[in-house]
Structure 1
Amino acid sequence: MKYQVLLLALFHSGPTIGLPIMSTVLVSTSSSCSDNYLVADQDYTLVSYAINRNGEAHFGFDHSNSLPKLYFMESEKPMCSLFDKSRRCLNQVFADHVCSCEALIRDQFYRLTVNITAKLKYSWKSLALKWMAAGTSEIAESVPLTLKEVREGCPQMELVSIHMSFNVKHNFLVPGEDTITVAFQVSGNNSVHSFRGELGPQFVYTTTDGKKQIGCTGFDPPNGSCTDRAGIRDACSCVPVSPPGTYLLTFTKTAQKNMSGQSVRLVWPGLPELRSVECHLPPIR
């Protein structure tokens, strides 16, 4: 598993003496699948804030409504409160996030940390620490942090086997007689890398004229169901295997002269486009 860490400089919410200093000091994300997005229930985002108690003089800790709290910008309900009414740090555990508070430097500074498990509902959400002044509408808040996109699964393609029906007397394939069969195991479909329509995994082979040809697919385009399909001089089969959500895709192609010395691979359209290893073909004559 990979991790991404971003350190951010401190900032002051305003020039007035006594206003709170609230700073995002650390952002860390796990990347089990891609640096560009998180996978639901697998990855996490960890954010740490620094807050200076100078803000007490202006904003106070008079009642629960004036305590610093962590919010998603689109929501009026806080994710967590970070202090109790006695100014003591709170540590709170929720179903999909954990909030913690730690006093630093003679109780003058606090480090506030939230660890958020990736969920689809958190995709692209903006997070901010807010401190509301007691008895007024004045609010100090940190610079909003936008979380990464969250996807349902991590698409995977693994070559299982490649078989060619060589002529028993020659080390080449005979066009129109011999066949090439490759099998891949696929899993982790999501809203971007889907089994439906043009987004489904496709077998692609190259020809001697430099072109790429698209073969059949093992999924039914309208609904993404696992099925057997036949194309022009090729056939695809799809078999569900374990664990659930994993499928064995097999591509069988009748040898053609224009495939001599070329290759076959599985391509999964989407952003980014995913490509399997190349399966290189022998001479065909």
Structure 2
Amino acid sequence: GAMASKLRLQLDAHASIHENVRRLLQFTTSIMEANEEGIRKDIDSEFLHDFRVAIRRSRSILRLLNGVFDPEKTAWMLAGLRELGKRTNDLRDSDVYLLRREEYTSLLPPSLRPALDPFFSDLEADKRLHHRQFCRYLTGREYSGFMTSLKEFIAEGELPDPETAPLAAEPTGDVAAKTIRKALKKVLVHGRRTGSETSDAELHELRIDCKKLRYLLEFFASLFPPKATAQVLRQMKTLQDNLGTFVDLTVQMEFLQSRLETIPADRGGISEAAAIGGLLTTLYRKREKVREHFHEIFSGFDSNETGELFDELLTGLA
């Protein structure tokens, strides 16, 4: 019964970007609302995942296409969506680590596996708490008021004042070509700056740049030849998978390190510390292998083939 977050918008390249961003926001708010019941009933973690993707997509497009709406309204929407996203973080974290129970257990020798039971018991208790808290928020006045105001605002079809929203009246095709080229350039420049001692923070920032480019490609996808779009997204997927795995492993290590520093000493703490130490060692080795492969993968993306694909995609839009 979940409503998936995959975009299904057929855009008109000649229509104003204001009209089409409004359509995107109408779609993403409908996704959020459609997944509320699944979140409340705790049917599956995918409901919360799709809810969060809709928030991220909305925020990303609003920032990347700054100038479509009045700046005060844009700031209000971004602040409300940011707060909503923050409200989901703790519940998301609990879900993610509980889903890794089998994976984490398999990485340890049999003698250490039972030592993770307290860790997962605490996660289950945390999830119950965070789920209750978020459900109260979903049924409260703050969330209801924000969503009502958001839907009323994006239902307004009149173009804003060009002095405060200079992008609003521009044709969608022109905006698509300019913003995608700009986002691609940022990914390439950022990626080319990375060296053999690339820091965790640099790879994290590059991953964010890639996400922004992907959100633009997905939003404007209906303007492009389907075959070329699929090829471009495939080119991006390998790079994004590498960066995503790296960042994911880094976050897991930070989470486990924080647990290691707070393990209660009175209930088998030594065994649990040994188990978590073993996990940290394994995850560190995995992450460093991913880091080693980054430059090879980025070189494959930063190629003439990719450049030609993007040129084919954007030719004729602007």
Return the structure number with greater strand share: 1
The TM-score normalised by the length of structure 1 is 0.21
Return the structure number with greater helix share: 2
The TM-score normalised by the length of structure 2 is 0.19
Which of these two proteins has the greater Rg computed from alpha carbons? 1
